[in-house]
Amino acid sequence: MSVRIVSTRPFDDQKPGTSGLRKKVKVFQKANYLENFVQSTFDAIGDFSGQTLVLGGDGRFYNREAIQTILKMAAANGFGRVLVGQGGILSTPAASHVIRKNKAYGGLILSASHNPAGPDEDFGIKYNIGNGGPAPEGVTEAIFARTTEISEYKVLEASNIPLDSVGSFKLGDMQVEVIDSVHDYAELMKSLFDFAAIRKLLAGGFRIKFDAMHAVTGPYATRILVGLLGAPVDSVMNCVPKEDFGGGHPDPNLTYAHELVDVMYADDAPEFGAASDGDGDRNMILGNHFFVTPSDSLAILAANAKAAPGYRGGIAGIARSMPTSAAADRVAAAMGLSCYETPTGWKFFGNLMDDGRVTLCGEESFGTGSNHVREKDGLWAVLFWLNILAVRQTSVAAIVHEHWKEFGRNYYSRHDYEGVDSAAAEQVLQNVRDQFATLPGQMLAGREVASCDDFAYTDPVDSSVSRNQGVRVLFKDGSRIIFRLSGTGTSGATIRIYLESYEADASKHDLDAQDALAAMITAAGEISRLRKLTGRDAPTVIT
């Protein structure tokens, strides 16, 4: 086996977004495209000679082929060992844990998260650093800079590694260990949650339904929920990972997880339902005929943290992304904890967790997690909810209503307009920016506007500054309208509008969120001129 030096030229579209580089599969399949990005990553991350790399993905189309290429490039570039998930499978939170447990130099995670998969759909790759979390902006900027000047890459000429059986193999001077994708993660979950109490709950007739959406969490849910916790086999659905996710869109929300929603809103619905996404880092929580918003879920987990053994010593603090509702802030205030508001992107939580400032964190985009890893973690959130339900012995709806009674309800919704022309999407936000000077003091949606801004964040740990993180219209009563462009798609733009209104009166907590926010929804459309610019009469997705 010998190292081959391949001449190449830069591509002009390899700037990583908030979650790495995402493109259509056919883009990644272009000659040298994947190799350029991988080599640029290796060139930018420092001296890893003899170190360990973690590698795996969500099982989508092109996952296995990309892994073989990366293994040969890792060997050619001097890594001493690569830990790769069996079958090429590693959920994103599991990869984070494997990095941390093995003190790896870093990891490459192959996923486009909740985006569709298949030959004509999406693929992605991101680098996670040694703390298990997504690469910070300084690292991603260095990777991008290298992609603009790369002229060659290194690859070992060797046969493919068999990925389907656990074992150890040599690839040149590098050791490749194909590891059980689930074992380490399952052991971590056992250390955090009261599995005996959850087993007792499930044995007592409490019915659950978990939808893996034919994505990466299928093997994890089957091993943990059925194998370790004793749930009936039919408690899990769509648990065989498929390269095209069964033709579905593995985004766990009320629109795309409709199969689970139908189950949970049927006459004979189970008591608890949940879904996870393509790479296993997102979650949706449902009760019998009841949907828990991700913002409320974070707040409820924080308020009930001591139900779980791993958090009985208390939590250090809470962090949420700026568009996420302020429900968690109210819990933090009541518990005497710090609460941090960060830009969207899990990497912003990493510094706070590493510095011991926060334990729990979450995003409104169905992501919740804690300092057990440095990624959001869908199945962790499901187990946390089951632990709380086992302790409190009541329904999901009752827990949420009791939480609102104590803390008040933050009516909240996100409206997504997907696949919008990029120029039109930019103009929607600019229209709001153009009114920053005139909106304060005006009445909008029956409320007085207090201020407007483009959210900026100064990291309290390293003092790094992130600007232009979302256009905000803030009201004197605490209500908010926020506009952002999503960085998770591969074509066009997604406009996200976040709407929030706080209600303390428990007698007014049973309104439909869209009804409660109707005036704000109308106002958001008017000040942005979204309908005229995009031609859209309604959102693609409402959550």
Query: What would the pLDDT profile of 352-391 be if each residue is shown by its tens digit?
Result: 999 999 999 999 999 999 999 999 999 999 999 999 999 9
Q: Which CATH class is domain 185-407?
A: alpha beta
113 noted as active-site residue: yes
DSSP secondary structure letters along 295-360: HHHHHHHHHTGGGSGGGTT---EEEEETTS-THHHHHHHHHT-EEEEE-SSTHHHHHHHHTTS-SE
Per-residue pLDDT reduced to its tens digit, 77-128: 999 999 999 999 999 999 999 999 999 999 999 999 999 999 999 999 999 9
| Measured CA distances, 66 to 28, 77, 190, 370, 383 (Å) | 9, 16, 32, 30, 32
Q: What angle do CA 532, 535, 538 make, to 5 degrees?
A: 105
Q: Residue range 497-517: average pLDDT?
A: 96
Give pLDDT, residue 149. 98
| Residue tagged active-site, from 113, 276, 370, 479 | 113
Per-residue 3-state assignment (H helix, E strand, C coil) for 130-186: CCCCECCHHHHHHHHHHHCCCCEEEEECCCCCCCCCCEEEEECCEEEEEECCCHHHH
pLDDT, residue 327, reads 97
pLDDT, tens digit (0-9, with 9 covering 90-100), for 173-197:
999 999 999 999 999 999 999 999 9
Fold of the 3-181 domain: Alpha-D-Glucose-1,6-Bisphosphate; Chain A, domain 3 (3.40.120)
**pLDDT for res 271:** 98
32 in Cβ contact with 153 (< 8 Å)? yes
Whether 88 and 64 have beta carbons less than 8 Å apart is answered as yes
Residue 491 has pLDDT above 80, yes or no: no
309-350 pLDDT, tens digit each: 999 999 999 999 999 999 999 999 999 999 999 998 888 999
Signed CA dihedral, 152, 153, 156, 162: sign only? negative
In single-letter form, the type of residue at position 177 comes to: E
Map residue 516 onto helix, strand or coil. Answer: helix
According to the model, what pLDDT value does residue 490 have? 55
- The residues, ordered by sequence, that sit 6+ positions from 265 with a Cβ below 8 Å of its Cβ are 289
**CATH 3.40.120.10 residue spans of the chain:** 3-181, 185-407
What pairing do the DSSP bridges indicate for beta strands 167-171 and 174-179? antiparallel
For residue 203, give Cα distances in angstroms to 307, 317, 403: 19, 34, 27
Instruction: Give Cα separations from 471 to 152, 212, 359, 483, 524 (angstroms).
Output: 41, 34, 28, 5, 12
Q: 383-430: per-residue pLDDT in tens?
A: 999 999 999 999 999 999 999 999 999 999 999 999 999 999 999 999
CB count in 10 Å sphere of residue 523: 20
pLDDT at 488: 54
Amino acid at 25: V
How far apart are the C-alpha atoms of 519 and 109, rounded to whole Å? Answer: 42
Backbone phi, then psi, for 493, in 5-degree steps?
Answer: -135, 150
Statement: residue 351 has pLDDT above 60: yes
pLDDT, averaged across the chain: 96
Amino acid at 176: V
- Report the share of the chain in percent with pLDDT over 70: 99
Please tell me the CATH code under which domain 409-542 is placed. 3.30.310.50
**Contact present, 86 and 213 (Cβ < 8 Å):** no
The segment(s) of the chain belonging to CATH 3.30.310.50 are: 409-542
Query: What type of residue sits at position 433?
Result: R
The distance in angstroms from the start CA to the end CA of the chain is 53
Of 375, 399, 225, give the one whose Cα is nearest residue 302: 399
Three-state SS at 245: helix
- For the chain, counts of helices (H) and of strands (E): 18, 27
Alpha carbon 387 to chain centroid distance?
Answer: 22
Q: Could you give the CA distance from residue 245 to residue 392 in angstroms, rounded to a whole number?
A: 35
How high is the pLDDT of residue 486? 82
How many Å apart are CA 185 and CA 173, to the nearest integer? 29
Would you list the DSSP string of 470-507? Answer: -EEEEETTS-EEEEEE-SS-SSSEEEEEEEEEEE--GG
Output the CA–CA distances (angstroms, integers) from residue 419 to 250, 282, 312, 316, in the order listed: 17, 21, 44, 40
Could you give phi then psi for residue 540, rounded to 5 degrees?
-70, -40
Contact assessment for residue 281 and residue 375, using Cβ atoms and an 8 Å cutoff? yes
- Global pTM value: 0.94
- Residue 322: what are its φ and ψ, rounded to 5°? -55, -45
- Distances in Å between the Cα of 57 and the Cα atoms of 46, 87, 88, 331, 431 are 23, 9, 6, 35, 39
List the structure tokens of 6. 């391949």
Q: Which two tokens stand for residue 388?
A: 């709380």
